[in-house]
Chain A
Amino acid sequence: MRNTHSIIHICIVFMLLTLIGCTSHNVARVQDYNQFAIKTAQAGLWNEAIFRWKQILSIDPENALAYNNLGVGYEALGKIEEAQAAYQRATELDPDSKYYRINYRRCRLHIRRSGDESKETESESSDIHIEDTTQD
């Protein structure tokens, strides 16, 4: 009986360690991809950077950081609608990050300045809410 208990305990510990190992491996992969993507973005290779950030999202679909960076990438390539959607998703996932809100606000200002109001696809109510909270 004692042997059975100890075997169960060992199994549980082993499973936990495997889970922790897998998670930390994913986190490390996400960080590596992001670091590489930022380096390529700083070198002006935005398509490569976007490809990496999309890979991060395939690993972790709720990654606000990747959405924000993807938004920057899209905006740099002139894909404003995609950029706006990505920024919006980032601010939805992490409403407390001031950098996400700053990027989102600048993107919307850019759209307004360029006079293309139709590109502002999402509802005005969410815009107003974010506008109010980005007075930093």
Chain B
Amino acid sequence: MVNFLSTYISNMKKHWIPLYKHIISCIMLIFTLLVCSCGSKVARVPIPIKVQSEIDINTYSNFAVLPFVSDKNNSKIDDIPVEIGSEIAQILRSTLSRQKHFTIVDKQETDRLMTGEEIDGDNWLTDTERLSELGRYFEVKGLIIGSYRFTTDTRPRRYYGERYSYRQQRYVMDYQDYMQKTYLILLRVMILDVDSGEIIWDEGYLQRTDEAHSLGSLVFSQMAPKETTMRELSKRALAKFTQDISPHYEKEDRFLIR
């Protein structure tokens, strides 16, 4: 009997333990598959969602855009031409004209009606009575006015990378110093209700872009005209403003269940 038992146990050890290992690995495989299948139970799909305008577009459907003025704190840069304010206004006019909800007074008409008007940065944006009067000349519901502040900031930076060293026959860590020049524009856009003389929209839009320079190219960039950069940054900022005040579609996720 004892012999039989010992033979049985040795047989068990010989045959069943490897089988036991197989069973465990099978269970682990099934568990892994289960976990994987649970992970993909849901499919995330983006759907278009209509976002309404943040202003009442039924009331404010026709606008006049007046030239933007330089911010009075804009003392860092002196070589920006005054015409840039008119250019920013023209960019906004053309952006808003593409929206079917708005009617915009064109540039020629604006220039004609603004002849003889003095635009100064100090109290231009705060004199709502004068602006309302101008709005009535234009026969519009809303008057878009604003200011710009353009600044640049230059800082030394270090870029870490790898280069191949022939002497050591391998890649080695290396760095390179450069100057990073950052252009910043802050556009303050306001909408004035012509009838009541109240400001119904007052938001700042900040845009920035960076350039990498060596010392030599930095000197040249300081002398180069900055209008192109300003125009590009203004376009981006005004696109954001236009999106805010006009109905548009945005993507939002929903869950589909498998």
Contacts from A to B (Cβ < 8 Å): 34-35, 38, 41-42, 65, 68-69, 72, 75-76, 78, 97, 99-100, 102-103, 106, 110, 113-115
Q: Which of B40-48, B147-155, B167-175, B203-211 faces chain A?
A: B40-48
Nearest Cβ distance between residue B166 and chain A, in whole angstroms? 51
Interface residues of B, count at CB 8 A: 15
The answer to whether B45 and A41 touch across the interface, beta carbons within 8 angstroms, is: yes
- Contact present for A72 and B254 (CB under 8 Å): yes
Whether the pair B50, A114 counts as a contact (CB closer than 8 A) is yes
The CB with the most chain A CB atoms within 10 A, among B43, B48, B252, B254, is that of B254
Which A-B residue pairs are the 10 nearest by beta carbons? A76-B47, A99-B255, A72-B254, A65-B257, A69-B256, A38-B256, A114-B52, A103-B254, A38-B43, A110-B49
What 0/1 pattern do residues 229 to 258 of B give for CB contact below 8 A with A?
000000000000000000000001011111
In the complex, what distance in Å separates the CA atom of A69 from the CA atom of B45? 11
Could you say which of B50, B254, B256 contacts A106, with CB atoms under 8 Å apart? B254
Question: Chain B's nearest CB lies how many Å from the CB of A47?
Answer: 14
- Which one of B45, B51, B52 has the highest number of Cβ atoms from chain A below 10 Å of its Cβ? B45
Are A69 and B257 in contact (CB-based, < 8 A)? yes
Q: Which residues of B contact A103 (CB under 8 A)?
A: 254-255
**Beta-carbon contacts under 8 Å, B3-50 to A:** 42-43, 45, 47-50
Tell me the complex Cα distance, A69–B48, Å: 15
Known contacts A38-B256, A65-B257, A106-B254; A99/B42 CB under 8 A: yes
- For B254, what are the chain A residues with a Cβ–Cβ distance below 8 Å? 72, 75-76, 103, 106
- Alpha-carbon gap, A116 to B50, bound state (A): 12
- Which of B49, B52, B257 makes the CB contact (< 8 A) with A68? B257
Label chain A's interface by main secondary structure. Answer: helix
Q: CA of A35 to CA of B43 in the docked complex: distance in angstroms?
A: 10
B95 to chain A, nearest CB (A): 23
Q: Report the nearest B residue to A75, measured CB to CB.
A: B47
Q: Mark B66-108, 1 if CB is under 8 A from A, else 0.
A: 0000000000000000000000000000000000000000000
| Cα distance, A65 to B256, chains bound together (Å) | 8
Contacts of B50 in A (CB 8 A): 78, 114
CB within 8 Å for A115 and B52 given contacts A41-B45, A75-B47, A99-B42: yes
Q: Which residues of B contact A113 (CB under 8 A)?
A: 51-52
Indicate if the CB atoms of B52 and A42 lie closer than 8 Å.
Answer: no
Give the distance to chain A from B175, nearest Cβ to Cβ, in Å.
45
A34 to B256, CA, bound (A): 10
23 A-B residue pairs with Cβ-Cβ distance under 8 Å, sorted by A, are: A34-B258, A35-B258, A42-B43, A42-B45, A65-B257, A68-B255, A68-B256, A69-B257, A72-B254, A72-B255, A72-B256, A75-B47, A76-B45, A78-B50, A97-B257, A100-B257, A103-B254, A110-B49, A110-B252, A113-B52, A114-B50, A114-B51, A115-B52
Per the bound structure, the CA–CA distance linking A13 and B52 in Å amounts to 62
Which residues of A are found within 8 Å of B258, using beta-carbon distances?
34-35, 38
Tell me, rounded to whole Å, the shortest Cβ–Cβ distance linking A56 to chain B.
Answer: 11
Report the separation of the CA atoms of residues A34 and B255 in the bound assembly, to the nearest whole angstrom: 13
Please name all residues of chain B whose beta carbon is closer than 8 Å to the beta carbon of A115 when the two chains form the complex: 52
Bound-complex Cα distance A21 to B104 (A)? 68
Please, what's the 1-or-0 string for B155-167, where 1 marks a CB less than 8 Å from any CB in chain A?
Answer: 0000000000000
